[in-house]
Structures are given as structure tokens and as C-alpha cells.
Structure 1
Amino acid sequence: MNILEVGNLNIVDVKAGKEIVCNSSFNLKQGSCLAIVGESGSGKSVTCRAIMRLNKPWLRQSGNIVFKGENLNDLTEKEMKMKRGKNICMILQNGMSAFDPSCVIGVHLKETLVQHFGWSHNQIEEKMINTMESVMLKNPKEIMNKYPHQLSGGMLQRIMISLALVLEPDIIIADEPTTALDTISQFEVVEEFIKLRERICCSMIFVSHDLGVVRKIADDVLVMKEGKIVERGNIQTIFSEAQHEYTKYLVSTKEVLSNNFKKVMGRSYLAES
């Protein structure tokens, strides 16, 4: 069963007179993780923002975005605002841009949860403390009283994951959530995404250019190039039986980087020995 069906999505930059996404159609199965991969500028992020209806006004979109039988393109902005967060939650590439820099983190969390649930301050604090501790954030009460710039990228991503745990959305869209993180933080955050899926049984769209991360978390893959979907398939097929030359290039590049890393690590180990 599909929880999300995107049909003939077109996105045009009316300022530049340029088509950014061309006739894109795909489905997200209930409970599955769909990865969207491709190089920068391929249309991955703008596709995700189109689902949330968060693109800039000069990026005109057409087509159908059907969530649980309801076309999101037909909703008013007020109706769509109620869907964001509670039904479809987006976790951005740069955690800093997700929070108001003039407010402490706790204000953002409270405003979001009051809007969707109407909970009291004490209820919100209790739930957020529990979920923040569950994603390995120490001293959550202290964290909620800090400004975004006082926290690392990894901590901000974990805060967004903990908020998603409380919201329990039907779909989580993670747009390059590990790009701005160091290698150790990347690994830890991906592990938290895997646990998040297991805990709330949500569907997920995971955008990344890192095929190593994609292989670890995704069930199905869309490959985008210059605004078009050039290949799609389950994770095993994409990695072992890719048909399109661009997909083969992405997979081979990932393998080369992985092999080089192993060689470097092997030499480092021998040198230490």
C-alpha cells in the first residue's frame, strides 16, 4: 500500500525560465524507506520541499502529490500547515536553519507541540526530556535553554529526531541530514534514523549523495539527474544490476572511495604496528 503518490510533478523556476524537475512520478510504500540520490542540483531537495509545499514562490509546481488519498496541492496554506510536522515531518540538511536563531531551542519545541497537540509546558518538557535522552542527548533541560548556535550540528540533528519521536508523523523526509556532520556524527545520526523508523513505524524519504548511507537505511532508490528520474529499483538491484550509466557511475565511485578508505586505514594500522 502506498502512503504517498507523486504523479507528473513539474517544478519551474519562473524567474529563470528554467525547468528544475521534469515529469517526476514515484510512490512511497507504507513503512518503507525510499532514498533519492543524485549529485547537487539534480532536483532531490526541491522535490522534497515540493511535497511539503515549502519551495520559494517563484518555483511553480504542478502535478499531483497524494498523501493518504488527499492531494496536498489542493489544500489551503492553513490546512497544509497542520500537515507539516504532525503528518509529514521534514528534517533539514543544516540543523541551524531549522531553528529560529533568536530563540532558545525549547521555545521552538514548545511552539511546535502546542500547535499540534495543545499540551502544557510541563507535558512538553517531560516528553522532550524522555525522547532527547533516548537519542543520547545529555542534560536535555540544559540543551533546551541554549540557542542553536551554541550547539553542534550533530546535536541539532538529534534534537530534530527527538521532536519527530514525539510528533510520530506518518512520513519523515530527511534531506541530506548527515552532510554537514563529521564522520563519527554521521554514523551516529544514521543509527538514530534507523531506530526512529523502528520505534514509530513511519515511512521515510531519505535524500543523500552518500550511497554508503543509502545502502544502510533504504529499501528502494530513485536516481535523479538534471531534474529527471533516470533509474529506480530496490536497494539490491541498484547496487548490483544498475542499468543507467549515471547510476553505474555513482555506484562505482562509491566503491572506489570505499576501497581507498580501506587501503588508507590498512596502511595506518600497519604503520602503528
Structure 2
Amino acid sequence: MNILEVENLQVMDKNTGKIIIHNSSFHLKKGACLAIVGESGSGKSVTCRSIMRLHKPWIQQSGNIYFKGENLNQLSEKEMRKKRGKNLCMIMQNGMSAFDPSCVIGVQLNEILVEHFRWSKYEIEERIKKALESVMLKNPLEVMNKFPHQLSGGMLQRIMIALALLLEPDVMIADEPTTALDTVSQYEVVEQLIHIRERMECSMIFVSHDLGVVKKIADDVLVMKDGRIVERGDIQRVFSEVTHEYTRYLVSTRHAVSSHFKKIMGRV
């Protein structure tokens, strides 16, 4: 059963007339992890923002995006806001840009949870504390009283993961969540994402250029180049029976990085 189906997604910059995504179609199976890989500018993040409908006003998208059979492209912005968070949750690649810099973390998390749940103020605070502790953030009350700029990138990523644990979304989109992190933080964030999948059995779209991470977490993979899907399929088959020249290039150029990451993860 597919929980998400994307049909003929096209994304265009209205200012320049440039097509960013060319008639992209794919699906996400319920409970599965779909990886989207490719170099910078291949269309990975744009695809994710299209699903969440988070584009700037001059970016136009067309096609169909079905979530549990409902076409997200036909929803009003008000209706779409209700889907974001509880049904579709996105972990951004830059934790600093995901939070309001003028507001402490605890207030921001509280506002999001009030929007989706009828929990008491005390219950919300307790749940936030437990979620932050579960992603290895010590002194959760202290963290809740910090502004985003007072926390490291790794801590902000873990806070976004903690929020996903609280919201228990049907689909979680992780858009290059380890890009701006050091190796140790990368390891911790990937482990937390794997933990979320095991705990909640949620469906996930995982975007990355790091094939070592992708092989560890994903079931299926899309390979994107210049806004087009050039290869797709089961993760093991795609990387063991490469058919497209671009995929072969990615595998060969990322081999050293992937091997290093496997070593960090204790898999060699």
C-alpha cells in the first residue's frame, strides 16, 4: 500500500521560466523509507518542499500529490497547514533556519503541539522534556529556555527529531539532515532517525548525497539529476546492478566517503 503518490510533478520558476523538476512521478510505501539521492541542484530538496507545499510565491508547482488518496495540490493553504506537522513532518537540513530566532525553543515547541493536540500545559512540558531526553539532549529545561543561536547545529537537528517523536507523523521527510554536522553528530542523528522508524513505524523520505547513510537507512531509492529521476528501485538492486551512467558516477565518486562512514558506524 502506498501512503504517498506523486504524479507528474513539475516545478517552475515563474520569474525565469526555468523548469526545476520535470514531470517527476514516484510513490512511498507505507512504513518504508525512500531515499532521494543526487548532487546539489539535482532537485532533491525542491521535491521535498513540493510535497510540503513550502515554495516561495514565485515557484509554481503542478501535477498531483496524493497523501492517503487526498490530493495535496488541491488543498487550501489553511487545510495544508493542518497536514504539516501531524501528518507530514519535515526535518530541515539547516536547523538554524527551521526555528524562529526571536523565540526560545520551548515556546516554539509548545505552540506547535497546542496546534495539534489538546494536552494540558503541564502535559506538553513533560512530553517535551521526555522527547528531548530520548534524543540524548541533557538538561531539557535548560535547552527549552535557549534561543536557536545558543544551540549547536547537531542539537537543533535533534530537537527537530524530538518534535517528530512528539507529533508521530504518518510521513517524515528528512532533507539532508546531516549535511551541516560533524561526523559524531551525523552518527547520532542517523541513529535517532533509525530509532524513529523502529518506534513509530512511520514512512520516511530521506534525502542525502551520502550513499553510506542511504544504504543504512533506506529500502528504496530515487536517483535525481537536473530535476529528473534517472534511476529508481530497491536500494540493494540499484547500487549493485547500476544501469544509469550518472548513478555509476555517484557510486564511484562517493565510495571513499561511504567507506569512511561505515567505519564510523562500526560496519567494517
TM-score range, shorter chain: over 0.9
Q: 4+ residue runs of structure 1 moved beyond 3 angstroms?
A: 256-263
Aligned to 2:266: none
For residues 248 and 256 of structure 2, the distance between their equivalents in structure 1, rounded to whole angstroms, comes to 12
Determine whether 1:232 maps to 2:235: no
Please state how far the C-alpha of 1:207 moved relative to its aligned partner: 0.4
What is the DSSP-based 3-state SS (H/G/I as helix, E as strand, rest coil) of the residue aligned with 1:45?
helix
Structure 1 residues 65 and 262, CA gap change in structure 2 (3 angstroms): closer
Aligned to 2:10: 10
Please state how far the C-alpha of 1:261 moved relative to its aligned partner: 8.6
Please state how far the C-alpha of 1:259 moved relative to its aligned partner: 5.7
What is the DSSP-based 3-state SS (H/G/I as helix, E as strand, rest coil) of the residue aligned with 1:31?
coil
Contact 2:210–2:257 at 8 Å: present in 1 too? Answer: no
1:19-38 aligned within 5 A: 19-38=19-38
The residue identity in structure 2 corresponding to 1:64 is N
What is the DSSP-based 3-state SS (H/G/I as helix, E as strand, rest coil) of the residue aligned with 1:222?
strand
What whole-Å deviation, never above 9, does each CA across 1:38-76 have from its counterpart, x for those lacking one?
011111001100000001111110000000010001111
1:186-225 aligned within 5 A: 186-225=186-225
Determine whether 1:168 maps to 2:168: yes
Structure 1 residues 39 and 160, CA gap change in structure 2 (3 angstroms): same
Please state how far the C-alpha of 1:121 moved relative to its aligned partner: 1.8
Please state how far the C-alpha of 1:7 moved relative to its aligned partner: 0.1
Unaligned runs of 5+ in 1: 264-273
Determine whether 1:143 maps to 2:149: no
What whole-Å deviation, never above 9, does each CA across 1:126-161 have from its counterpart, x for those lacking one?
001111111111000110000000001111111111
Aligned to 1:268: none
For residues 61 and 262 of structure 1, the distance between their equivalents in structure 2, rounded to whole angstroms, comes to 38
Aligned to 2:46: 46
The residue identity in structure 1 corresponding to 2:115 is Q
For residues 229 and 182 of structure 2, the distance between their equivalents in structure 1, rounded to whole angstroms, comes to 29
What whole-Å deviation, never above 9, does each CA across 1:98-130 have from its counterpart, x for those lacking one?
110000001110000001113222111100111
What is the DSSP-based 3-state SS (H/G/I as helix, E as strand, rest coil) of the residue aligned with 1:6?
strand
Aligned to 1:104: 104
Contact 2:174–2:207 at 8 Å: present in 1 too? Answer: yes
For residues 64 and 139 of structure 1, the distance between their equivalents in structure 2, rounded to whole angstroms, comes to 44
What is the DSSP-based 3-state SS (H/G/I as helix, E as strand, rest coil) of the residue aligned with 1:26?
strand
Aligned to 1:270: none
For residues 48 and 258 of structure 1, the distance between their equivalents in structure 2, rounded to whole angstroms, comes to 24
CA radius of gyration, larger in: 1
Structure 1 residues 3 and 261, CA gap change in structure 2 (3 angstroms): closer
Please state how far the C-alpha of 1:252 moved relative to its aligned partner: 1.0
Please state how far the C-alpha of 1:219 moved relative to its aligned partner: 0.4
Aligned to 1:155: 155
Unaligned runs of 5+ in 2: 264-268
Structure 1 residues 133 and 260, CA gap change in structure 2 (3 angstroms): closer
Q: Report the RMSD for the aligned CA atoms in angstroms.
A: 1.4
Contact 2:213–2:261 at 8 Å: present in 1 too? Answer: no
For residues 84 and 259 of structure 1, the distance between their equivalents in structure 2, rounded to whole angstroms, comes to 36
For residues 262 and 57 of structure 2, the distance between their equivalents in structure 1, rounded to whole angstroms, comes to 46
Please state how far the C-alpha of 1:239 moved relative to its aligned partner: 1.4
Structure 1 residues 259 and 30, CA gap change in structure 2 (3 angstroms): closer
Matched residue pairs, number?
263
What whole-Å deviation, never above 9, does each CA across 1:181-235 have from its counterpart, x for those lacking one?
0011001100000001111110000000111110110000000000000000111
Q: TM-score, normalised by structure 1?
A: 0.94
Aligned to 2:55: 55
